Structure 1
Amino acid sequence: MAEADAQAGSPIIVTAARSILPANALPLTIDVVDKAALDQQIAISGSVTDAVATLTPSFSPTRQKLSGAGETLRGRSPLYAINGIPQSTPLRDGGRDGFTIDGFFVDRVELIYGSNALQGIGGTGGIVNQVTVGAPTQEGLGGRVLLQGTADNDFHSDGFGGKAGGLLQYKAGDFDATVGATYEKRGVFYDGQDRRVGLNLTQGETQDSQATNVFARLGYAVSATGRIDLIASRFELKSDGDFIALPGRRLTGLPTSAVPGDSPGVPAANRTESLALSYTDNALWGGNFVSQIFFNRSRDTFGGENRDASGRYIASFQDPSIAPDGDLFDQSQNRSRKVGAKISYERAVPGFEALTATLGFDALWDKTEQRLIATGRVWVPPAEFRSLAPFAQANLKLFDGLVRIAGGARWENVQIKIDDFHTLAQTTQTLPAGQRYWGGVDVAGGKPRFDDVLLNGGIILEPWEGIRAYASYAEGYTAPDVGRITRSINQTGVDIDTYLAIEPIVSNNRELGIEVKRGPFDGSATYFWSSSDKGQLLVPGTGRNFDVQRQRIEIEGLEVNLRAQMPIDGLKLGIGYAHIEGRYDSNTDDVVDTDLDGVNISPDRVNLSATYDRGPISAIVQTQFYLSRTFHADAGRPQPDQRNNFGGYHVTDASIRYQTNFGGVRLSVQNLFDKFYIDYSSDTRLPTDNLAYFAGRGRTFTLSWDYAF
């Protein structure tokens, strides 16, 4: 995927790896989606998240919704970052971290696969780091503009969408500035049978929405090797609220749809504001110095629904002390604020130049709560998170690069602070006699502390240039979804200081890989397996909410990718395959016995692609085959709900771009053959919910024009 860098012959430097060593010097599975490939995929699917999911076989198919809850990389949650700044809310995962910046401002996406602690908390499945546009290199004024329009297969008036974006860059000596803005209006989506795709009013939608993003970057070169950068971004995506959900019928295969109407309450929305100040010097005392302080604030508004799958009125977040049954409607909002700092220094050890060492320190403070905005009640109590983490890495080059040994350690020191709180009245308390009591429970707060030393290490063999094999071990560290856990406590006498359910998740990732980047071939094969003694499992809770269970989880898989240059100049063919299996301990006997379901693991997949890039023409045709899956348990164990088995489907996309003397014109088609299918998430969870049975998007056309000056 990193074609531009490879063709230029320059080594690929992956900033998310916290090292200036090239990717082939690290015992990791790494991909880089360059700007050309990223723009091509975004023109097809509309977002960075969809682009990454399409290109990466071990990434689960996206839900095509605003929320990415349940979307996984190698069976675990990925950490989304922008220039290394984590976008997740560690104590209450709202699932919105894939929509915090417009892809127009992203220069490339760096993917590091598997559990690791390189970027701190999060990333048990891997890291998806979005690197924003760099500083201008030419004196004077430059920039880029983008105009595009989108329509469904039958050109319905409510399905039209459009986007406009502009970027200006200016450089004068040591000073440079970049400013830009985008606006996007999305219409409703239509499936392969010409029905409106159903709406998830609670979790939020990208369809029937408007999004804006303002971006700025100011830089100043303080010396020949050192510079200061200030980067700011404000992204907001809001549902228009012009449609309401129409229940489907799972028994007959009729998906959830949508009809015109005013959605109740405030439509779902996502807003993220960030500010980062960095100082870098690539030749400080003979080494590379990187420092960054950042501020990030997000506000995730979840919608609400007041009708059940039968169309009957239902009360949301019922509390008889506020209103009688049937008269109360409410909805929630995540509010998170984080401040952090990162610093690292890397250089060859004096007198022993074959050894490169890195020292660093990361700090993060996050405060998050989930509040009900109509009545002002607190659903998830305000929780404060603090992480302090020094780390050290070393990379030793032996036998003139034939062998490399790498490894390091990170000490993660975490504190979580939660005051005393009372759960909502809807919480059901089970009494010893088997009776059930509505009204919530008192929970004693606390300030539990956790710390762990996280290790990583690996060896690389590169007998010939462009051919390497590696083996590695890395530990990942993240907080469970503390918000989901605390809001669902239904027993008295719980004390946060001793509540084991909020202990961090430590995952162990092992990999064996081989890569061939030589001549016309670019291929890799990786076998991986990971485990966590106290993993995080999403299970259905009340309504359409999902709760968290802490169980032992084991995951293993195989991923293969191959791209080859064909005899026809400019033509490349590619194939990718991922096979993933995951099991958990369903009865706490420390033996995994039941398959992870579709909420927690992706299906096996085959990707096929053909790309052409020569002269003014660049084009791609690609197909993703999502393979069927049946979920099992061992004999004698409770069987998973067989209604959640997955039947499989495949989708083909295409895009062609022609470069003129005045910009490039691109026509992209998502779901080229207008395939009707039920998306993976809907097909593998909530088997009786007719309001959560969504079809995938049908054939969709996007025509765009972009011009760089």
Structure 2
Amino acid sequence: MQFKNSIIALSISAAIFPTSAVAQDSDIEVITVTASRMDKPVSAIPNTVTIIDQEQLNEQLRTTQDLSTIIGNLAPSFSPSRQKMSNTGETLRGRTPLIMIDGVPQSNPLRSGGRSGQTIDPAMIERIEIIHGANAMHGLGAQGGIINYITKKPSGDNEHHVSFDVTVPNSLDSDGISFGTSYSFSGESENLDMIGAVSYRNNGVYYDANDEMIGVDTTQGESMDSQSMDFFIKLGHDFDQSRLELMVNHYNMENNGDYMAVKGDKENDIPTGAIKQDQPWDAANNQVTTTSLTYTHEDIAGQQLSLQFFNQNFEAVYGGGCWSDFYDPSMEGSDQVTVCGTGENGESLYYEQSRNKSVKWGMKASMMASNIADSGMSIAYGLDIFRDTTEQDMVMSGVSWVPESTYDNIAPFAQIDYDLIENLTLSGGVRYEYAKLNVDDYKTMYGYGNKYVEGGNPDFNETLFNIGASYKITPALRVYTSFSQGFGMPDVGRVLRDGDNFQGPNPSIEDTLALDPIVTDNIEFGADYQGEYFSSKIAYYRSSSDYGARMVDKGDGSGSFVIKREKSLIEGIEASVTAYIGDNDDVGVNLAIQNGEYDSNDDQKVDTDLDGANISPNRINLFWNHNFDNDISTRIQANFYMDKDFKDENNNVYANFDGYTTVDASIAIPVYDGTLSIGIQNLLNEDYYTYYSQTVGKDTRYFKGMGRTATIGFSLPF
């Protein structure tokens, strides 16, 4: 693959447009990135970093509560939101990111399921840290980068905060009204500080630009016609030089199950629709509890200690269907199932759905010594221990689809920063990953080969490296480069449940290469500038994997994907410029361009474009913020998604994306001691199909995007 924008062109652009790691205010130096494991300032990290702070998050929440949409608005190399409960196909720089809450992994390495984006309400978040590109500092699953949701902290004062918001569609139909509310309190005593919050959200149905109801995804999960609740609490105690903190977040999202899909016709441009009809199965839902106990000490033999124990309990129920893949002759005539049709061979088909259950336990321990003996050298070292036990079963019949699998991982690491000369910082690190998978003997489902597979305990080990350099040409202008590796597993559940992955008379999980780890190499060159009148950034990256994992739709209408293991290569450019016009106006542009290919014929040469389930579109984001002297603030933003053709090894177009443009506008007005906000999403009422629907969707998932909506919100601290 030849990427048109070469490193030479990048260097010229960097010279013409000095750039910034994050388009933020001039206090960028004091912002530290906890996801770096060394609490580094942004300007010391040799990677592209995006920090979405509380002010930016609040601006976005005026128009949408969807975290995927918010991240895409501010970090355009992230895929457009599917506007569904599922986030399958939402990638960062074309690869899956590791999503965390306060450093606790939300992604499910054994069986992804596409629900890691629905584990916390935005009302609980203080800021979002995004490290772009493969990263080994948190180990498993960060091939595309890290998205770390940092939860709110106690304010130090006894304070309460309430918020309300209502969203109405352009049609003003009552069934399309959504509303939400949250309440939080914060305070401290002599021995304890705490913050707690609860939120509730009720989503109506969604309408497109033609005031037609958007189709429902009754299988992977639907966010419209749903309810969500979140309970959050954080307790802390400060000792003389240390702190102990407990965080618990429980999130529950449930579809109401009141609508069924009406099949579309992609070839004839007929979108998937919806009708009011009870679903004949349990509606899709997500239930996630994240717990973290963290102890930090500022001075142990001159070093800083960070010790975190965490747990996540995750359960996702997916919607149902009447598919031959789920047929099992042993269930013929059983009162456990409901017959819904007849198969090709006269067999009785029945409604079925799956449930994914995962329990994670882990520990992260690290020590950091800064500026050792005034040498300019800092070192962080530690050990991560992780266990994930996952199973996917069928709700109606109780049959196991993915056998219970336990993944154990232990990873020591060390990271060094060295100020070699003034303004030049070199960094390097190594992480050793040892992983073991434990699966008992099992049988694949009847529709997935009906094969007996011998279990086992395959183990894997990888040594990952990263090296980087950051040089400040001036206090405002920096250039950097880095090489880093990411480690991950393919979706183990998809591999185990598919009988085609196990060949021969006595198949065993020990024999399949489909379970081998994914190692991603990421090279990056960039520059950033943070000045009084403008800030900007530009970065070129190249991400490659000799044995990657590509998701491919099974094509049976169930929404199931299989995993293909192939060589892959992704290249891209990210850039942004923000101009500070006077004291009241910020005007900016963000750009993300990427190309990705995979090896379709196993000749170790990439030759076919990655599709929309694996790579995001090229796009430009524009924005204008204005602050009035009376504390009223406004924001207008536009997202331009560019057309794209996807070509195979013979240069034939196998899929295409018809780009579109959406515009959002919002205003925040001080009212008494609170803030009244009004936001309009898709201001121009653009009529479009979502990116995922156009590039991957079938007739049953050919969804329009949301039309114009208006949101009115009010928040009040007291």
**Which residue of 485, 488, 508 maps to 1:475?**
485
* Aligned residue among 406, 416, 435 for 1:384: 406
CA-to-partner distance for each residue in 1:507-538, whole Å, 9 max, x for gaps?
00000001011111110000000110110111
Question: Is 2:655 the counterpart of 1:633?
Answer: no
Change (3 A) 1:207 1:2: farther
Matched, 1:276 2:292: yes
Alpha-carbon distance in structure 1 between the residues aligned to 2:452 and 2:159: 60
Distance verdict in 2 for CA 1:462–1:674, change over 3 Å: same
Matched, 1:157 2:174: yes
* Aligned pairs, number: 680
The secondary structure found in structure 1 opposite 2:496 is helix
Which deviations, in whole Å up to 9, do the C-alpha atoms of 1:52-86 show, x marking residues without a partner? 12211111111001111111110001111000000
Q: Within 1, Cα distance between the matches of 2:548 and 2:324?
A: 33
Of residues 533, 536, 541, the one that matches 1:523 is 536
For 2:513 and 2:30, locate their aligned partners in 1 and report how far apart those are by CA, in whole Å. 45
Give the 3-state SS of the residue equivalent to 2:645 in structure 1.
coil
Code of the residue aligned with 1:682 in structure 2: it is S
Using the alignment, how far apart are the partners of 2:325 and 2:548 within structure 1?
30
Within 1, Cα distance between the matches of 2:243 and 2:627?
36
Cα shift readout 1:419-442 (whole Å, capped 9, x = no counterpart): 1111111124xxxxxxxxxxx111
Structure 2 distance, partners of 1:577, 1:326, is 53
Deviation at 1:9, TM superposition (A): 6.4
Q: Give the conservation status (yes or no) of the 8 Å contact 2:23–2:576.
A: no
Say which of 245, 254, 258 aligns to 2:274: 258
The structure 1 residue matched to 2:260, chosen from 222, 244, 255, is 244
Letter in 2 for 1:102: D
TM-score, normalised via structure 1 length: 0.94
Residues 238-268 of structure 1 show CA distances to partners (whole Å, capped at 9, x for unaligned) of: 0001111112222332211111010121000
Report the equivalent of 2:634: 619
How big is the shift at 1:617? Answer: 1.3
Tell me what 1:133 maps to.
152
| Aligned with residue 576 of structure 2, among 561, 566, 569 | 561
- Please tell me whether the aligned partners of residues 23 and 578 of structure 2 are also in contact (alpha carbons under 8 angstroms): no
Shift of 1:8: 4.8
State the AA in 2 paired with 1:79: L
Counterpart in 2 of 1:144? 161
Choose the corresponding residue for 1:603, options 603, 607, 617: 617
Instruction: Confirm or deny: 8 A CA contact 2:520 2:543 kept in the other structure.
Output: yes
AA paired with 1:318? Y
C-alpha distance 10-525 of structure 1, shift in aligned 2 (>3 A): closer
Q: CA deviation at 1:282?
A: 2.8
Residue of structure 1 aligned with 2:435, choices 414, 428, 444: 414
Q: Which residue of 2 aligns with 1:319?
A: 328
Match of 1:708 in 2: 717
- Measured after TM superposition, the shift of residue 466 of structure 1 is 1.6
For the pair 1:575 / 2:575, whether they are aligned, the reply is: no
Cα distance in 2 for partners of 1:167, 1:7 equals 30
Structure-to-structure mapping, 1:27-42, within 5 angstroms: 27-42=46-61
8 A contact 2:53–2:127 mirrored in 1: yes
SS in 2 for 1:483: helix
Q: Which of these residues, 112, 128, 133, is aligned with residue 114 of structure 1?
A: 133
Mapped contact 1:389–1:412 kept (Cα < 8 A): yes
Classify the secondary structure of the residue corresponding to 2:699: coil
- Please name the residue that 2:118 is paired with: 99
Work out whether residues 23 and 577 of structure 2, in 8 Å CA contact, stay in contact via their aligned partners in 1: no
CA distance in structure 2 between the aligned counterparts of 1:326 and 1:50, rounded to whole angstroms: 42
Any idea what SS the aligned residue of 1:158 has? helix
TM-superposed CA distance for 1:326, in Å, is: 3.5
**Using the alignment, how far apart are the partners of 2:429 and 2:325 within structure 1?**
49
SS at match of 1:304: strand
Structure 2 counterpart of 1:191, from 208, 212, 224? 208
Structure 2 residue ranges without an equivalent (≥5): 1-19, 334-346
Q: Indicate which of 679, 682, 700 corresponds to 1:691.
A: 700
Match of residue 337 from structure 2: none
Q: 1:78 to 1:596 in 2, by over 3 A?
A: same
- What is residue 6 of structure 1 aligned with on the other side? 25
**Residue 499 of structure 1, CA deviation:** 1.4
- Stretch of structure 1 that moved more, 20-29 or 88-97: 20-29
The aligned residue for residue 366 of structure 1 is 388
User: What residue number does 1:432 align with?
Assistant: none
Measure the CA separation in 1 of the matches of 2:646 and 2:22.
38
Q: Which amino acid aligns with 2:494?
A: R
RMSD: 1.6
Structure 1 3/596 Cα, relative in aligned 2: closer, same or farther at 3 Å? closer
Contact residue 305 and residue 316 of structure 1 kept, 8 A: no
1:52 aligns with 2:65: no
Question: Structure 1: which 4+ aligned runs deviate by more than 4 Å?
Answer: 1-5, 7-10
Q: Residue 148 of structure 1 contacts residue 162 of structure 1 at CA under 8 Å; is this kept in 2?
A: yes
CA distance in 2, matches of 1:612, 1:414: 51
Q: Does 1:226 align with 2:242?
A: yes
Does residue 466 of structure 2 align to residue 459 of structure 1?
no
Contact 1:365 1:385 in 2 (8 A): yes
User: What SS is found at the alignment partner of 1:117?
Assistant: coil
| Conserved 8 A contact 2:21-2:536 | no
Between the aligned partners of 2:379 and 2:71, the Cα distance in structure 1 is: 31
Q: Which moved more, 1:5-14 or 1:468-477?
A: 5-14
Partner of 1:54, secondary structure, is helix
Paired with 2:705 and 2:156, the residues of 1 have a C-alpha distance of: 42
> Aligned-pair distance for 1:39?
1.9
* 1:619–1:655 contact (8 Å) kept in structure 2: yes
Q: Which moved more, 1:468-477 or 1:482-491?
A: 482-491
Deviation at 1:647, TM superposition (A): 1.2
TM-superposition CA deviations, 1:379-417 (whole Å, max 9, x none): 0111100110010001011332x2110011001111111
* Offset at residue 365 of structure 1 (A): 0.3
On the 8 A contact 2:23/2:535 being kept in 1, the answer is no
Could you tell me which amino acid in structure 2 is paired with residue 201 of structure 1? T
- 1:70-109 to structure 2, matched below 5 A, reads 70-109=89-128
The answer as to whether partners of 2:21 and 2:43 remain within 8 angstroms in 1 is no
1:549 aligns with 2:564: yes
Identity score, percent? 35
Residue matched to 1:447: 457
TM-score, structure 2 as length reference: 0.92
Corresponding letter in the other structure for 1:356: S
1:586 aligns with 2:597: no
- For the 8 Å contact 2:29–2:42, the answer to whether it is kept is no
What does residue 434 of structure 1 align with? Answer: none
Structure 1 residue runs of 5 or longer lacking an equivalent are: 307-313, 429-439
Q: Counterparts of 1:580 and 1:8 in 2: how far apart (Å)?
A: 31
SS of structure 1 residue aligned to 2:514? helix
Distance of 1:366 and 1:219 partners within structure 2 = 27
Quick check: 490-499 or 240-249, which moved more?
490-499
Per-residue deviation at 1:178?
A: 1.4
Alpha-carbon separation, structure 1, partners of 2:276 and 2:28: 54
The one of 501, 510, 514 aligned to 1:501? 514
Residue pair 1:42, 1:50 contacting (<8 A) in 2 also: no
1:651 to 635, 642, 662: 662
Please name the residue that 2:188 is paired with: 171
Contact 2:543-2:570 within 8 A present in 1 as well: yes
Distance 1:8 1:408, change over 3 A: closer
In structure 2, the residue matched to 1:437 is none
**Deviation per residue, 1:532-563 (Å, 9 max, x gap):** 01101111214321100000000101111111
Asked if the contact 1:110–1:131 (Cα under 8 Å) also holds between the matched residues in 2, the reply is yes
